[in-house]
Each structure stands twice: as C-alpha cells, then as structure tokens.
Amino acid sequence: MLQRPLRRLNVSAEAIELSEAATRQRFLIISNGHGEDAIAAQVISQFPSSIEADAYPMIGSGKAYDGICRVVGPRASLASEGWRNVKGSLRRDIVNGGLLTVPPALKFLRKMRGNYDRVIVVGDMVGVLAGLVTGYRDLVYIDVYKTGAARLYSGLERKAIAKACSLVFCRAENLSAMLREDGVNASAPGNLMMDTIPHGSYDAASRRRSALAVTLLPGSRALTAESFALQINGLRQVVPELMPDIFLAVAGSVQIDELAKAAGLQRSHHLSSEPDDLGQLTDGDITVHMARGRAMGNLLATSDFVLSQAGTATIQSLGLGKPAITFINQRDRRSRFEDEQKLFGDARLVVDADVDQLGSAIIRLIGNPELRMRLGAIGQNNIGGQGALTAILNSLGVSKT
C-alpha cells in the first residue's frame, strides 16, 4: 500500500513571530538615579530574548538605558538628582518644585498597573513606596542601597516592603534576615554592583605610559565640574616624574567643556575609532584621557587607585581592589560619609576639600605600593565579589542558560 507523502507545513515568519510574542514576558524596571539606572541596565542586558523589558528611570534622563531597552514614563529632573550626601539637598529639591514631579510619576505607575508580568524596583525605597501607594503588591525589590553595615531597615520600611514586595534581594544577610522575620521572601545573594560594572569600547591599557594610573570619578551631578577641578589641582601637586596616567570616566549628563573650563584645561578632539573615546584634556603639563562612563570598567582595570566623588562607582572601584580618595566639604552630610565609611573602612581615604590635603593623599598612595595593596585588599573583602547577578536571574527564572 502506497503511503501519501507528508505535506510540508509552511509556517510564515510572521506566524513564528506572533507565537514568540504570545510567550514573551513583559517586565517593567523602575530605578531612581544614575547609578541605579546603570545597574538596572546591566541586569536587563542579561535577560533572555523571551523578556521584553521597559525601564522607568524616576529621576534623570535614563541615558544608561540607551541601546538596552525602551524608556517609558515621565521625565523628572531634580537639582540633586536624588543625591543626599549634600546638606539640605532634600529641602532645595522641594523649594525648587521637586514635589511637582511626584503626581506625574504616581499617575504613570497607576496607569501601568496590570500591563506587565513583573515589576522590578532597583535602588532604594523610593520605588517601593511609589509602588505601594499606587496599588502594587507583587514587586520584586533589588535593594542596592542599604549595606547592612550602618543603618538598617526602619519599622516603617519593613512594613512597606512586606506589603508591596513578594521577592527581595539584599546586599547583606542581616538585612534579609530582618525581612524574613516579617514573612518576606528575602535573600542576600551579594553585592549586585560588582556584577554590573560597565565595560565599553576603549583600550585604556594602550594609553598607559607611566608606572601608575589613576581614574577620576568626579560624579554626575551639579558639583561635578567643581569636584573635577579640585581633583586636577590635587594631581598638580605631584612632581612630573611621579605623575600617573590619568583617566576620566564621563557620565552621560556631564558637559566636558564645563569640566575643561573649571580645571583650566583645553580639549583635544583628536579621537580614535573607539566608540567610547572622548579625546583628551590638557594644559601642556597634565593630560587626561577621557572615556564615556559606560567604559568605566576598562579604566578601572588598568588603574591603581581612584579619585572619586561618585556613589556606585566608588563601591565598584573598592570592590575591584582600587583604593579611593574622596574629599568632603562643608556642604556634605558627614553622617552619610560616616555610614559609608563603616562599610569601606580604610580602603577609602577621606580628606577635606583642600588642594594640599588631597595632593598629600595622592602622593602618599603613589609612593607606597604596600599601602595600596593593603587598602585594596580591605576594599575587596568589605565590598565582596561577583555572583549576585547570576543568583538573582536564577531566582527570577530568567537566566539565559
């Protein structure tokens, strides 16, 4: 008996695409600051193709998500960009209309309720509280803010998390233990910041000429140009024969011309073919190699220490074993610095915002390799290594493998 040949199934590309879309999950990622945006963007980049992610950066432009995913929601701009290390920053934000940014954010979150399979908050309690008051009760919260070494969750924070969140990832076991006491599914997979150090297209090693190298991290906020100028003036205290190679990580919102003017440098526009090369700043004696912030990991890999006024980037630098020098001035909240220092220990040297003090600290690190090694080891031990991202992705069930 002859068998009929099997008829081939002609499945169109459009049908396949519709089938994949039907099984694709939609995630909303909420973040609230430049550092948090950068961390969240790195997390999203590790999602499998079955996840369609939108990002809602509550503060700032959200440039960290460029090329990663779609940005949604109203744009809110605060003079402080959410940075609370400066005295009176909250009051100034309120006086300058900061409260006006709240209603649009809450309206957007209410509108989006039910539109996503999962809503993930990356950052501090701001996103959790916004979700709580807009009716979210199944949030995933990745807390990259509290360290467990200083201030712990308050009673009100614990109640808010218990009500709004179904899954929480903390940086420290003592924090997750507090939440588990409240019935929250909480764990401490480690410091996600160490898994989300950005790397770009910039060959920092090929630009090395000196025995040592330093990366400047002046921050991404209103005081960036002022901080950069002080960092450069501190380096000008170093004699030429000991001057390290100098690299600068430029955050997306920073205006390079403002940095150059503040530090008395001129910009060279002779760029390489590398997408993250931003050229150089120089005065004839000192040269600064600039790269986009997304290539920060490239700069840190070839540097021996950092001068940092940043938040997240300082932690990542210390975790990589790069000692940091940070200056504090009268506008800064010393209580916040003291809280941070409980985690950083001796790995971060803190001096006043004074050229001579900063210069002395730089010269001390340059001239003492044993000290750099000891402080680097302290930073690595206190901050912890990689591994949190894999654990989080596995817990969410969205690992690529």
Q: What was the pLDDT predicted at 90?
A: 47
Q: Is residue 76 part of a domain?
A: yes
Mean pLDDT of the chain: 89
Q: What was the pLDDT predicted at 93?
A: 43
- 124 pLDDT band, cuts 50/70/90, is very high
Q: Is residue 117 part of a domain?
A: yes
Residues 30 and 149 in one domain: yes
Residues 47 and 59 in one domain: yes
Q: Is residue 51 part of a domain?
A: yes
The answer on pLDDT for 95 being more than 80 is: no
Q: Is residue 89 part of a domain?
A: yes
- 334 pLDDT band, cuts 50/70/90, is confident
Residues 42 and 54 in one domain: yes
| 292-306 confidence digits (pLDDT tens) | 999 999 999 999 999
Q: Is residue 3 part of a domain?
A: no
The answer on pLDDT for 268 being more than 90 is: no
The answer on pLDDT for 20 being more than 70 is: no
- 63 pLDDT band, cuts 50/70/90, is confident
Q: What was the pLDDT predicted at 2?
A: 46
User: Running DSSP on this structure, what letter comes out for residue 110?
Assistant: H
Q: What was the pLDDT predicted at 11?
A: 54
Q: What was the pLDDT predicted at 19?
A: 45
Q: Please state, as a whole number, how many other Cβ atoms lie within 10 Å of the Cβ of residue 147.
A: 23
Q: Is residue 6 part of a domain?
A: no
Q: How many domains does the chain have?
A: 2
Return the CATH number at 150: 3.40.50
Residues 168 and 258 in one domain: no
| Residues 135-150, mean pLDDT to the nearest whole number | 95
The answer on pLDDT for 21 being more than 60 is: no
| Cα atoms in the Cβ-side hemisphere of radius 13 Å centred on 129 | 10
The answer on pLDDT for 110 being more than 70 is: yes
Residues 113 and 214 in one domain: no
Return the CATH number at 236: 3.40.50.2000
The answer to whether 280 touches 287, Cβ cutoff 8 Å, is: yes
The answer on pLDDT for 28 being more than 70 is: yes
| 169-181 confidence digits (pLDDT tens) | 999 999 999 999 9
Q: What was the pLDDT predicted at 142?
A: 98
Please give the backbone phi and psi of residue 222, each rounded to the nearest 5 degrees, phi first: -60, -30
Take residue 109 and report the two structure tokens written for it.
């979150």
Q: Is residue 200 part of a domain?
A: no
Separation between Cα atoms, residue 319 and residue 331, nearest integer Å: 27
Q: What was the pLDDT predicted at 100?
A: 59
Strand, helix or coil at 231?
helix
Q: What was the pLDDT predicted at 12?
A: 56
Residues 165 and 72 in one domain: yes
The answer on pLDDT for 16 being more than 60 is: no
Residues 123 and 141 in one domain: yes
| 112-121 confidence digits (pLDDT tens) | 999 999 999 9
Separation between Cα atoms, residue 267 and residue 261, nearest integer Å: 9
| 188-240 confidence digits (pLDDT tens) | 999 999 999 999 999 999 999 999 999 999 987 778 999 999 999 999 999 99
Residues 329 and 234 in one domain: yes
Residues 176 and 240 in one domain: no
Separation between Cα atoms, residue 101 and residue 313, nearest integer Å: 27
Q: What was the pLDDT predicted at 338?
A: 87
Separation between Cα atoms, residue 17 and residue 29, nearest integer Å: 24
Which domain range does residue 151 map to? 13-191+386-396
Q: Residue 156 contacts by C-beta under 8 Å, 6 or more apart in sequence?
A: none
What is this structure's pTM?
0.83
- 151 pLDDT band, cuts 50/70/90, is confident
Q: Is residue 163 part of a domain?
A: yes
| Residues 357-369, mean pLDDT to the nearest whole number | 98
Residues 257 and 157 in one domain: no
The answer on pLDDT for 380 being more than 90 is: yes
Q: What was the pLDDT predicted at 77?
A: 64
Residues 349 and 219 in one domain: yes
Q: How many residues does the chain have?
A: 401
Residues 176 and 227 in one domain: no
